[in-house]
A and B are shown apart, each in its own frame.
Chain A
């Protein structure tokens, strides 16, 4: 089975982000970058599909700056076979242009399954997976939490509001992965050493400017400190009054 996994390098969710002086981009100094956590599920699922099939190839593809090679090597250390970096100058914010570049790389390469995280944790757009599917004219199942592939056909479960939806689809297909699909493996130390020797092809890419423009980025307002109204039963009356009059939740 030939599997492609599209991944993205994103700032660590635990990192403290600073906005750059232009007011519309991130100050990358001191920021730790990681493999997008939703893409980790995609890499893991790709590896499991290949392991189950007993044969095949898992190719990881990223669009991003030169530093995204490190992110690709994380996926290679987990067990992927080879990587492709569509190298851009800096970060590229436009979902459609990203999808076009990925689709151009994927087209005609004979992949049975194309996996992506359901979204990137930096821009929360949920766009690229469905756009890649559309550009390649392939079926698309988003937010997959369970996947079975047997004899060229797939069944996927998706958690929807209030229940689980089960869908069937033919291969090849584009799937976006959600939390709950699997438990991604740690890149073992031997895997980290082996990753250095796996092929990683770098292809300079210049996506179009796209139709979107980021005007500004602001941090959320600082959370106000809590208020302790007193202790024990004596505080109840005041607490109820505040919940009713100030918080207006009663």
Chain B
């Protein structure tokens, strides 16, 4: 049996965590070691999401874990939630993405913008994994610029009729429920954007898997087409309004990604260290060579910085003080350094680094998606640029 993951903790970051936070982390860590790590390589190669793990993840309470117990969720704080994302992504970014979408992008909007009736109807079933959700914001021609979306919702006497297409939708073809964002006014009216709960078996709704991915292969990514999809009046999320509503969801998800990326980086670093100590070349373990030591020192430094960013961001979030711009900084930094750590690990492993038997190249390929989704690295750069200067580079 493979040795259990022992974590990477050079600065005693554990001492910044409470007993419950550590207990949550340890539970998810053990579950990932026992159930995800043994199967992920094969699922990745075959291009399948490990669907069989969903009931176990639900049983542990991993979906919407920072939402209240009243809706069947675990009611954790944001640091514990982040640690869940860290450990899941230590296994695979695709599996973390599944949990992120379910919790932060499908359950959260219902929690934040839904009616009491919508919350009671959907959240407990989503926490228990009975209903899987997806989040439809991005469109084929509107990625970094969601304000330009052309999916429209027209109010009729019985409800709403939705028309449009959404792309790059994680969980799209597995989901029973889609949170679809559409304009309810004219196509130029950004303030008319509202969220709709659309059961995926509604007539006119179709989801098609996006084929040929070289990244996030253990995750379902789909294109959604909505053609005269009729939903009832109570499908609209009553408190949603304008682009800020979906962006608020993205802030939740990005927060989890900042933690998740650290998990992927820790997995790679752990692999790099163990390989460097055992792989012998020129009669010595390669870890004794200066070039590899420089690689490892750089990795450990960046991981340590990223861990500290996450803990402080989580504490701010728990105090209600975290800003979207702070979340942007953490997502931007942590995904970027995790990608670097994965790439350097891949290289340190030499030819072995290209094999699925090792984790580094899988994480590297995954992180290229994570770098691009939920606000690309570049867009987060511009968000920070605007925050610093007060001048927007978007317009």
Task: Please tell me the number of chain B residues within 8 Å of chain A, measured between CB atoms.
Answer: 21
A196 lies within 8 A of B59 (CB): no
Residues of B within 8 A of A118 (CB): none
Name the distance in Å between A198's Cβ and chain B's nearest Cβ.
Answer: 13
Binds B, one of A132-140, A183-191, A202-210: A183-191
- Report which A residues bind B (CB closer than 8 A): 14-15, 32, 70, 73-74, 77, 186-190, 192-193, 195-196
Determine which residue in A15, A70, A187 has the highest number of CB atoms from chain B within 10 A of its CB, and name it.
A187
Chain B residues numbered 1-37 whose CB sits less than 8 Å from any CB in chain A = 3-4, 6, 19-20, 23-24, 27, 30-31
Residues of B within 8 A of A189 (CB): 24, 27, 60-62, 65, 74, 76, 80, 84
How long is the Cα–Cα vector from A187 to B19 in the complex, in angstroms?
A: 13
Task: Pick the contact of B61: A15, A70, A190 (CB < 8 A).
Answer: A190
Besides A15-B6, A189-B60, A192-B20, 6 more A-B contacts (Cβ < 8 Å) are A70-B19, A186-B31, A188-B60, A188-B61, A188-B74, A192-B74
Residues of B within 8 A of A14 (CB): 3-4, 6
Cβ of B185 under 8 Å from chain A: no
Name the distance in Å between B23's Cβ and chain A's nearest Cβ.
Answer: 5
Determine which residue in B6, B31, B60, B84 has the highest number of CB atoms from chain A within 10 A of its CB, and name it.
B60
How long is the Cα–Cα vector from A50 to B69 in the complex, in angstroms?
A: 25
Main SS at interface, chain A: helix
Task: Pick the contact of B60: A15, A186, A196 (CB < 8 A).
Answer: A186
Name the distance in Å between A74's Cβ and chain B's nearest Cβ.
Answer: 7
Name the distance in Å between B360's Cβ and chain A's nearest Cβ.
Answer: 22
Please, which residue of chain B has its CB at the minimum distance from the CB of A70? B19
Name the distance in Å between B249's Cβ and chain A's nearest Cβ.
Answer: 22
How long is the Cα–Cα vector from A126 to B4 in the complex, in angstroms?
A: 25
Name the distance in Å between A60's Cβ and chain B's nearest Cβ.
Answer: 15
Please, which residue of chain B has its CB at the minimum distance from the CB of A77? B23
Residues of B within 8 A of A70 (CB): 19
Cβ of B75 under 8 Å from chain A: yes
Please, which residue of chain A has its CB at the minimum distance from the CB of B72? A190
Determine which residue in B3, B6, B20, B23 has the highest number of CB atoms from chain A within 10 A of its CB, and name it.
B23
Given contacts A189-B27, A189-B61, A189-B76, A196 and B20 within 8 Å (CB-CB): yes
Chain B residues numbered 279-338 whose CB sits less than 8 Å from any CB in chain A = none
How long is the Cα–Cα vector from A188 to B59 in the complex, in angstroms?
A: 7
A-B contact pairs, 22 of them (CB 8 A): A14-B6, A32-B6, A73-B23, A77-B27, A186-B27, A186-B30, A186-B60, A188-B27, A188-B59, A188-B61, A188-B74, A189-B27, A189-B60, A189-B62, A189-B65, A189-B84, A190-B61, A192-B23, A193-B69, A193-B74, A193-B75, A195-B23
